[in-house]
Amino acid sequence: MSDETTRDAARADVWLWRARFFKTRSLAAKFVDEGRVRLTRAGHESRLDKCARPVKVGDSLVFALGGRLIAITVAGLGERRGPPAEARALYSTLEAP
C-alpha cells in the first residue's frame, strides 16, 4: 500500500522539502502543521492541518513565505530532494488573476 500511495501522492511536508521551499523537512512539517498552506483539489479548497496530508499532481497550493505569496500547481511528486532545476520541475507557478 505504501508504494502505491507514493506513486500518486506525497506527504505535504516531504513534497515542500523536495520542491526546495524549505531547507529541512522538519521546517516544512512545522509550517504545514501551523495551517499555513491552502490546498485546492478538484475545485474544493481546504487548509492543510497535518504534515502527513497528501498532495497530488494537479493540486494547487497557496502559502506565504518570506514576505511573498506563493501560488503553485503540483506538476510532479519527485522521488528525492534533487538539485534546484529538478525541484523546479515539481511545480508550476499560477498566474495572478
Is residue 37 within 8 Å of residue 48, measured between CB atoms? yes
Q: Right CATH number for 2-93 from 3.10.290.10, 3.30.470.20, 3.30.930.10, 3.40.630.30?
A: 3.10.290.10
Is 82 or 3 the better-scoring residue by pLDDT? 82
pTM for the model stands at: 0.89
Could you report the per-residue pLDDT of 39-52, keeping only the tens digit for each? 999 999 999 999 99
Check pLDDT > 60 for residue 97.
no
The grid cell for 9 is 501522492
Residue 52: the pLDDT is: 95
> What is the per-residue pLDDT across 2-30, written as a single tens digit (0 to 9) for each?
444 457 999 999 999 999 999 999 999 99
